[in-house]
């Protein structure tokens, strides 16, 4: 099992405890802090195409967004508008990400909702 899979499982366990209230006497802020400490970099890969890796953090801040990495560059895209919230990709990689996300927006929304609940994310078909 690779490190990414282990971190993802740890995050799912921690968020599962938060959702079910397993940790008695803990308020939501403490639980979120605990979850962040357990898996601070848990960002599962949900798709990959043409060297571009698409990831989504568990329980990340609004607006709904995803991260795209390509050749050492990273950009964060809003799911609803596909605006770049932060970062930059090379022009061709950016165009491919926007094309892919336009086709896969409903799956991105579904994965965002799952990530906010600490559930396992679905892989999303890559761009052909």
The pLDDT tens digits of the residues spanning 1-31 come to: 444 554 455 445 444 444 434 445 555 555 5
Query: pTM for this structure?
Result: 0.69
Judge contact between 77 and 84, C-beta under 8 A.
yes
The pLDDT tens digits of the residues spanning 44-53 come to: 999 999 999 9
The pLDDT tens digits of the residues spanning 26-66 come to: 555 555 444 443 443 478 999 999 999 999 998 788 999 99
DSSP track, the chain:
--HHHHHHHHHHHHHHHHHHT-STT--HHHHHHHHHHHSTT---EEEEETTEEEE--TTPPSSPEEEEEETTEEEEEETTT--EEEE---HHHHHHHHHHHHHTHHHHHHHHHHHHHTPPPPP-PPP-
């Amino acid at each position: 099992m690779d490190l990414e899979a282990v971190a993802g499982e740890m995050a799912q366990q921690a968020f599962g405890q938060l959702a079910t209230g397993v940790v008695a006497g803990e308020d939501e802020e403490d639980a979120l802090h605990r979850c962040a400490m357990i898996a601070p970099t848990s960002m599962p890969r949900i798709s990959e195409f043409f060297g571009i890796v698409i990831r989504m953090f568990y329980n990340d801040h609004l607006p709904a967004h995803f991260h795209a990495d390509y050749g050492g560059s990273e950009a964060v895209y809003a799911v609803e508008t596909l605006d770049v919230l932060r970062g930059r990709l090379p022009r061709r990689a950016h165009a491919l990400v926007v094309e892919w996300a336009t086709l896969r927006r409903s799956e991105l929304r579904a994965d965002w909702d799952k990530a906010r609940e600490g559930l396992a994310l679905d892989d999303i078909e890559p761009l052909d």
